[in-house]
Each structure stands twice: as C-alpha cells, then as structure tokens.
C-alpha cells in the first residue's frame, strides 16, 4: 500500500515561525494547478501500480484552493492511480478558510479527514505567530466540523513559545479536548534560520525559546492527553485508539509515497527524489519538459539510519529483529549494545527486542537517534 502527498505552496500570510515552502503571491495559482495536473500524469508509474491507501493535501495552505480546483486534482488522482476502496483523504485546513458550506463540499468530493491548524485558542498567541485566523474563528471552525459530520479530524497545537505560560498551555489542551478530536498533534516551536522569528530574536524584538520550558510543556501535554485516553503513538502525535493518521504512520513504517508539487519528496524504498522548491521554476520546468526534481539511490547505511530515526519516534520503537533480518545480525547486536547506555539512563527500554523511548527519552529523541546512527 502506498500514499500520495500533494504540496500546495500558497498562504495568505507568512507565519513568523514557518520554514516550509510557500508563497503569499497567489498570481501563479492557475499555472501551478495546470503544472500539478501534468506532474500527476508524468508520475503515473512511480508507485509501480501499488494501491494507494492515503492522499494528503499539505502545504502551505491547501484550504486556500477553490473547491472546483480541489475536486479537479482529486479526479486526476483517481483517473491516474489505483486508489483503494477506503482511502484516507486528508486536507490541511486553516480556520479562516472553513465554513459549513465548504466543509460539506469537501466531504462530498471525498475528503474524509481534516488537519486543522488551530495552534492556540488565545488571540495574543495567534497575533504573535502572525496567524491569519482569530481565536473565535478557531472555535467556530471546530463547531462547524462536528456539525457537518466529519468524524476524522486532527487539531494542531504549538507549545514552547516565549509568551506561552504553562497555565495557557494547559487551557489550550483542555479547550481542544472539549471538542473530542480523534487526533491531536502538538509541536514544539522551533526557531528555524531565515524565518521572521529568527530575525526577531536576533534583533531582540522577541524573547528566545527556553528549552526547559518546552520540555516541561511537552511532559504536561503527554500527561494530560494520555490521561484523557489518547495514545502517544509518535513524538508529536496523539490519537484515540484506532484513530491514528494512516498517512503519517506510513512515513514511519517506510512505505512508498509519491510527493507532488514544489518541494515535495517521494520515496519508493530504494531511492528518494525531491521537487524544485520554487513555484515559478517548477511550473516552467513542467511546461518545458525539463527536469523538475533531483533524486538519489539510498545506500543500505542510509536506509538503516532513516529507520533508526523514524522508528524511535513511534510507540512501537525500533525492532532489533527487523534490523537483523534486513541489515544483518551484526548491526542488530551493535544497536542493542549502543542502546544500553540510554537504558541505564532510563531514557529507553528494551521491550522484547523493541527499543522504545521512555517519556524522558522522548525529550532527547533526535540526539539519541543520531548517537545510534551508523557511520
């Protein structure tokens, strides 16, 4: 089974913290759509006929696209790829783009899961982030989502920003829980180079993030959400039983996926490719029959290190048995020996041959994974 990701590279305005590929210039939307439809046709063989079980519209802000354009893209995907009988079709959506009418349209065209960019229920937080929506719009969007019968939806929340107090973080979580979402994603605010936030901090116009505060709020979120019946199945992801994101889970399980649109990445288990991260050049290349992506064949070491990184983020952890079968018993034994240090620190457990991070270990997930990488 495989997945398809579509990157929609447009936003109303730039969030101060965002370093994803996007443009606030909407003048190329029509040309982008035409190029995207052409790419769909050109990449028809990438998944080698494997059945597609998930489709994910990400960005950028996919909900900025008109409903007729979204329908046209979905129709092209169904005409080009073997879509399974019960696909998960997710649309990332911002509260200011949502209404009862649009929700009904999305549902009618086949979208059956929403990833809603709430981030915070406090207007001052949203203004500091330079989000386009208000706290009132966030609440209204969630009420409309439930009223129109969307059973699958996820909320995005951000913690660890300089102005977010522990009290407000707990209240954000409780407000989110009041809508009984099947899924919640919690992301630590990161300061990425060349973002507005990075410049603001450099110019002393904003306080920097505090790792101790972020760690405390991460642990608070974990305790509250797990106490409310959510599985912490990936570092940033919490779901009610049976309500995990099928699309994101496929990334962590190293399944095939095709990425479409500027900056999108694809993976077919043996190689990886990535599209031009420039809207105008992406359109020009596709229209002119020129290369619009680069690719690399993954070496066994690369595939093993990627598995270490992704598997340690999940609740199932890293399977030493799978590593032994896929890369050789020697590699599995070296990993088990290297993991002993983190087991002694109580940051990791060996559960029947699966290396699983503890709550404290999740605070250091990236560092632990990097320490276990093979040179």
Q: Are residues 45 and 131 in the same domain?
A: yes
Would 295 be classed as within a structural domain?
no
% of the chain exceeding 90 in pLDDT: 89
pLDDT digits (tens, 9 = 90+) for 272-282: 999 999 999 99
Residue 276 lies in a domain: no
Last residue of a domain, one of 191, 220, 252: 252
| The pLDDT of residue 122 | 95
φ/ψ of 371, rounded to 5, equals: -70, -25
149, pLDDT greater than 90: yes
Instruction: Count up the domains in the chain and report the number.
Output: 2
Range of the domain at 79: 2-252
Q: Are residues 233 and 315 in the same domain?
A: no
For residue 231, the model assigns a pLDDT of 98
Establish if 157 belongs to a structural domain.
Answer: yes
Residue at 288 is within a domain: no
For the entire predicted model, the pTM comes to: 0.95
294 lies in some domain: no
Angle 217-219-221 from CA coordinates, rounded to 5°: 70
> Across residues 1-5, what is the average pLDDT?
95
Q: How far apart are CA 361 and CA 340, in angstroms?
A: 13
Say yes or no to pLDDT of 314 above 90. Answer: yes
pLDDT digits (tens, 9 = 90+) for 97-129: 999 999 999 999 999 999 999 999 999 999 999
Asked if residue 259 belongs to a domain, the reply is no
Same domain, 121 and 185: yes
Residue 203 has pLDDT above 90, yes or no: no
pLDDT at 196: 84
Terminal Cα-to-Cα distance of the chain (whole angstroms):
31
pLDDT of residue 195: 84
Say whether both 11 and 115 belong to one domain: yes
Q: What is the pLDDT of residues 285-294, one digit of tens each?
A: 999 999 999 9
What is residue 63's DSSP assignment? G
* Residue 163 clears pLDDT 90, i.e. is over it: no
Q: Is the pLDDT of residue 198 over 90?
A: no
- Give the burial class of 162: count Cβ atoms within 10 A of its Cβ; 0-12 exposed, 13-18 middle, 19 or more buried: middle
Q: Are residues 133 and 220 in the same domain?
A: yes
Other beta carbons within 10 Å of 368: 23
**Last residue within a domain, chosen from 252, 282, 310:** 252
Within 13 A of 99's CA, how many CA atoms are on the CB side? Answer: 6
């Amino acid at each position: 089974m495989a997945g398809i990701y579509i990157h929609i590279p447009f936003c109303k305005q730039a969030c101060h913290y965002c370093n994803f590929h996007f443009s606030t210039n909407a003048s190329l939307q029509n040309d982008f759509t035409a190029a995207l439809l052409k790419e769909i046709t050109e990449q028809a063989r990438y998944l080698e006929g494997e059945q597609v079980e998930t489709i994910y519209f990400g960005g950028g802000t996919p909900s900025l696209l008109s409903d007729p354009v979204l329908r046209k893209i979905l129709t092209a995907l169904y005409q080009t790829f073997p879509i399974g009988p019960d696909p998960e079709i997710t649309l990332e959506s911002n509260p200011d783009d949502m209404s009862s009418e649009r929700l009904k349209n999305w549902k009618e065209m086949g979208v059956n899961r929403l990833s809603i960019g709430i981030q915070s229920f406090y207007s001052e937080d949203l203004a500091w982030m330079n989000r386009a929506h208000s706290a009132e719009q966030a609440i209204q969007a969630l009420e409309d989502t439930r009223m129109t019968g969307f059973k699958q939806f996820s909320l995005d929340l951000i913690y660890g920003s300089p102005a977010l107090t522990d009290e407000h973080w707990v209240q954000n979580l409780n407000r989110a829980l009041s809508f009984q979402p099947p899924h919640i994603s919690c992301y630590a605010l990161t300061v990425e180079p060349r973002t507005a936030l990075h410049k603001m901090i450099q110019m002393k116009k904003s306080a920097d993030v505090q790792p101790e505060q972020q760690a405390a709020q991460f642990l608070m979120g974990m305790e509250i959400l797990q106490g409310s019946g959510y599985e912490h199945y990936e570092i940033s992801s919490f779901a009610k039983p049976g309500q995990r994101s099928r699309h994101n889970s496929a990334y962590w399980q190293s399944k095939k996926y095709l990425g479409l649109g500027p900056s999108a990445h694809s993976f077919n288990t043996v190689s990886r490719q990535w599209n031009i991260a420039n809207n105008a050049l992406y359109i020009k290349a596709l229209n002119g029959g020129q290369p619009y992506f680069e690719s690399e064949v993954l070496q066994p070491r690369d595939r093993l290190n990627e598995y270490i990184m992704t598997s340690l983020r999940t609740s199932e952890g890293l399977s030493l048995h799978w590593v032994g079968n896929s890369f050789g018993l020697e590699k599995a034994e070296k990993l088990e020996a290297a993991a002993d240090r983190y087991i002694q620190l109580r940051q990791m457990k060996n559960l029947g041959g699966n290396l699983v991070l503890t709550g404290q270990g999740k605070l250091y997930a990236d560092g632990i994974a990097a320490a276990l990488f093979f040179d």
